[in-house]
Amino acid sequence: MFPVERKNRRIMIISFLAASLVLYLCPLLLQQPFAAAQLRRGFYSGVCPEAQHVVRETVRRAMARDPRSAASVMRLQFHDCFVNGCDASLLLDDTPSMLGEKLSLSNINSLRSYEVIDEAKEAVERACPGIVSCADIIIMAARDAVVLSGGPKWEVKLGRKDSLSASQEASDEIMPSPRANASSLVHLFERFNLSITDLVALSGSHSIGMGRCFSIVFRLYNQSGTGRPDPHMDPRYRFKLDQLCPVNGDGNVTGGLDATPTKFDNQYFKDLVRRRGFLNSDQTLYSGDGRTREVVKRFSVNQDAFFTAFVEGMVKLGDLQVQQPGEIRKNCREVNKQSERMDRMRTRF
Ligand code: HEM
């Protein structure tokens, strides 16, 4: 090859690489690719002022159809934010190349009301297309569910991006079991910088909603492999649960997580003090650890203290983020086609 030809070839290769790099970086820069965005109150007030109202009305309609949907929607925040941050990874359906979180151990046959988030997203997209993330819709809807159930009000921080993938493995590894004891829960929450007060206050979300017999039969009949029930249960309450959940009965039958399962109040803590907690992971906060017991006792006699701590906990939970590429999904159940392309390009480099 002549020197001139060699030089031309080198120039062509460099130009090709430079063009590829620009093509690769441009969409990323335009998309503000990293999910660990700066969150703030009023994030959409300039660009989509209707967003908060639209989400709240969607939750209100869902509750009118099915009062339990408030609890189910609120739970989504916990299950989304604990697994790689609040990025709506929870909402992604499985694909041939990715096992999503919907079928993880804690979520399968248990998480519900995904369609409420879909409905909110569709309504928000009609008002302002391509602006509001599914991750932020979860956070707004969870807050609205609490408010509309009689709980405290607060302003949410917004500005999250939606993830480009999900991880069933991470969900299986992180989400706590209903069998968990207090000290393991304290440790788990510490990993997320959440204190004992945060743990107890956030568990107070079980003030609304239902649990399945599947989640409690072991404590009714074979606590810790003893062949005996959990000793920390009021016998009359246990009798009631035995009727609801007989041995070899239907695991999908549900019972209230507290005595007032559609009202967000401090009844849950009163129940724990009376040893009427539904889940083992609830009762253990009173019966299993002196540090958590003190907080349960305080909240059982002071609803305002519970509400204040709950709001703090929800804000901290909503702050959980990891550095990863993100986007505003069009449909909460799947990544945008363009991102799939970007993802493919990224793996080629
Ligand atoms: C502390 C550790 C926690 C454990 C072990 C736990 C576990 C559970 C379990 C086993 C159920 C019932 C699921 C079923 O039987 O299908 C449930 C329901 C629920 N959880 Fe938790 N949870 C915890 C913390 C939280 C937190 C932090 C929140 C929200 C901030 C939350 C919100 C809810 C709600 C609202 C329900 C009722 C959902 C419905 O009725 O559809 N949980 N949880």
Q: How far apart are CA 46 and CA 122, in angstroms?
A: 20
> Which atom of ligand 1 sits closest to the CA of residue 180?
5
Whether 280 lines ligand 1, by a CB cut-off of 6 Å, is no
Whether 110 lines ligand 1, by a CB cut-off of 6 Å, is yes
Task: Tell which one of 86, 191, 279, 319 to mutate to probe ligand 1, the residue whose CB is within 8 A of the most ligand atoms.
Answer: 279
Q: Do 64 and 166 fall within a single domain? A: yes
**pTM for the predicted model, two decimal places:** 0.89
Residue 98, amino acid: M
Phi, psi (deg, nearest 5) at residue 201: -65, -45
- Burial status of residue 234 (CB atoms within 10 A of its CB: 0-12, 13-18, 19 or more): middle
* pLDDT score at 342: 59
Whether 258 is covered by a domain: the verdict is yes
* pLDDT score at 36: 58
* pLDDT score at 37: 73
Geometric angle at alpha carbon 64, from 117 and 154, rounded to 5° = 60
> Which atom of ligand 1 sits closest to the CA of residue 199?
1
Q: Do 156 and 74 fall within a single domain? A: yes
What is the count of structural domains for the chain?
2
For residue 338, what are the domain limits?
Answer: 40-174+319-348
Whether 103 is covered by a domain: the verdict is yes
Whether 2 is covered by a domain: the verdict is no
Q: Do 196 and 274 fall within a single domain? A: yes
Whether 19 is covered by a domain: the verdict is no
* pLDDT score at 10: 57
Residues with a known catalytic role: 79
Q: Do 87 and 212 fall within a single domain? A: no
* pLDDT score at 34: 46
> Is there a binding annotation on residue 176?
yes
| CA of residue 294 to ligand 1 center, whole Å | 21
Structure tokens at 345: 């390009």
Q: How far apart are CA 38 and CA 201, in angstroms?
A: 26
Q: Do 326 and 257 fall within a single domain? A: no
> Is there a binding annotation on residue 226?
no
Give the mean pLDDT per block of 10 residues along the chain (349 residues). 50 45 38 63 97 98 98 98 98 97 98 98 98 98 98 98 98 98 98 98 98 98 97 98 98 98 98 98 98 98 98 98 95 85 47
* pLDDT score at 24: 40
Whether 78 lines ligand 1, by a CB cut-off of 6 Å, is yes
**Pair 204, 307: CB distance under 8 Å:** no
CATH code for the domain in which residue 305 is found: 1.10.420.10
CATH code for the domain in which residue 161 is found: 1.10.520.10
